Amino acid sequence: MNELITMTAADLSAAVAAGEVSAAEVTAAHLDRIASVDERVRAFLHVAADDALARAREIDRDRAAGEPLGPLAGVPVAVKDLFTTVGMPTTCGSKILQGWRPPYESTITRRLRDAGAILIGKTNMDEFAMGSSTENSGYGPSRNPWDLAKVPGGSSGGSAAAVAAYEAPLALGTDTGGSIRQPAAVCGIVGTKPTYGGSSRYGVVAFASSLDTPGPFGRTVLDTALLHEAMSGYDPMDSTSIDAPAPPVVEAARHGDVSGMRIGVVTEFSGDGYQPGVMARFTEAVELLESLGAKVTEISCPHFRYALPAYYLIAPSEVSSNLARFDGMRYGLRAERPGGGSAEEVMALSRAAGFGPEVKRRIMLGTYALSSGYYDAYYGKAQQVRTLVIRDFDAAFGQVDVLVSPVTPTTAFPIGERADDPMAMYLADLCTIPTDLAGNAAIAVPCGLADEDGLPAGLQVMAPPLADDRLYRVAAAVEAAFTDRWGHPLLAEAKGLV
C-alpha cells in the first residue's frame, strides 16, 4: 500500500508545503486506492478524478512559484453528497436528484477549495440523510471497511467508510441526529458535530433545518480539528450562522490536557440494550480520563430519555416542509403518464418514483404531526421536550465542563439486520440525538474494540455551545494515552482491506 495514503492530513499538508511530495502525487495515490477498494466498500457515488488532479497540479504550480498555500493544500477530502458542488453531481443519495448538477457551490466546499483541499469525490449516504446505516441510499449500501458484511453507520456512512478505508484522509458529513458521530464510532475514526450555527448550512440540502449541522471526519483528532477549523466561521448566506469567532479547535487538539477538567458521565446512557463490549470500552475510557487528572462524576439528565421520540416528531415535521420542493416540476426526476397529465399527477408520480421508503415514511409522519388537530399534541409537545433537554444540558454544564457517554449502544450491525425494523434502526441514535436537539457540540473518538466482535467502539464527548475546543482537549488526551499504551489501536486497520 502506498505510504502516502496512510499519512495524516497534517503531515500531508506539511509535506506538500515543503516540496517533499507533490499534491498531484498525493491525489493520484488516493485515486488509486479508491480504484483498488471502492468496488467493495462502495463509499463513493462520484469520483472527480480529472478535476482533482487538475486542482492538484494548480497547487503544485503555486508552490513552485512561491505563492502562499492554504492550511489543507494538497489534502484530499471526500464530500457527503448533499453539499452542492459546481462541476459534480449532488444527488443526496436519492433517485429524485439522479444526475443533478447544482449551479452554485456550498459555502463549506468553497472554503475548503480556498484552503487548498482537493475535493476528490462525493460519498454515499442515506437518502436525504435519513437513516443510520447508509442502507437507505437510492444507489445501494456502503460497507464497513472493518467487516464488509456490516453497515458503516449513517447517514454519513460513505464519508466514514472512505476515511476508514484510507480512500481519503478527511471527509465532510452532516449530523442531524447523530449522522457524523455514529458512523465515526462504528468505523473506528473521529467525527465531530460542531455547535449548531458554527458551520454554514448554505448549499447543504436541507433535511431538518433546525438540526442539520455540517462537520468533519478524520483518522486522528488533529486532522479532524484542521478540517473543522477550515470549514467554520460566520456566513451571511446562512441566517442561522453564528457571528462569533470560531473556537480554537486546532490549538486544543495539539495540546490535549484534561488535568483538573470536570467530566460528567450521563447516567441515562447505560443499562439494557447496550452491548457489553461497548460499555466495557466506555468504562475503560472514563477510568483513563480519571487517571489523567480529570475529575469524574455521574450526572443525571432525566429528560434525555424522551429525546428520541421528540426527535422523531420534530425532524419528520421539518422534512415534510423541506422536501415539498422536490416535485418533478423544476429539476430532478420527472415522471408522468404517456400523453402527459395534470401538475398534481406529475408531482405524485415523481415523488412516488423518486423517494425511497424511509423518506416517504418520514414525510408522512411529519405531515401527520403538523396536521390540524394534531399539531399541539405532537409537534408542540415535542418542542416542549426539546426545551427540557436543553435545560438538562444547561444544568449539567453548570456542574461539569463536558459530558461523556458511549456514542451508540452497539458496534456495527449486519447489513439487512434492521432494514425491516425502523425502531431498532432509530435506537442507533439514542445517545447522539440530545446534542442535536440542544444545538451544542459533540465528538466521537475511538476507544478500543468490543470483545464480542473485534469491531470499534466510540467515546462521545459533549460540550456547551461554542465550546467545541473542549471536545478536542478531551479527545486528544484520550488518543495520546491510547497511543502511549498500545501503539495507537485507534487507527482503523480495516480487516480485509488494509
**Residue 155: cis peptide before it, omega within 30 degrees of 0:** yes
Cα 452 to Cα 275: distance, rounded to the nearest angstrom: 9
| Catalytic (active-site) positions | 80, 155, 179
Cα 183 to Cα 466: distance, rounded to the nearest angstrom: 23
Within 8 A by CB and 6+ apart from 15, the residues are 7, 21, 26
Task: Decide if 191 contacts 178 (C-beta within 8 A).
Answer: no
Return the residue matching grid coordinates 487507527. Answer: 491
Task: Decide if 461 contacts 467 (C-beta within 8 A).
Answer: no
What is the Cα 189 distance to its own chain's centre? Answer: 11
| Closest by CA position to 159, among listed 230, 211, 82, 243 | 82
Length of the chain: 498
Q: Hey, how many other C-beta atoms are within 10 angstroms of the C-beta on 309?
A: 15
Cα 459 to Cα 142: distance, rounded to the nearest angstrom: 23
23-41 and 9-17 are packed helices; what angle lies between their axes, rounded to 10 degrees? 150
Cα 158 to Cα 171: distance, rounded to the nearest angstrom: 9
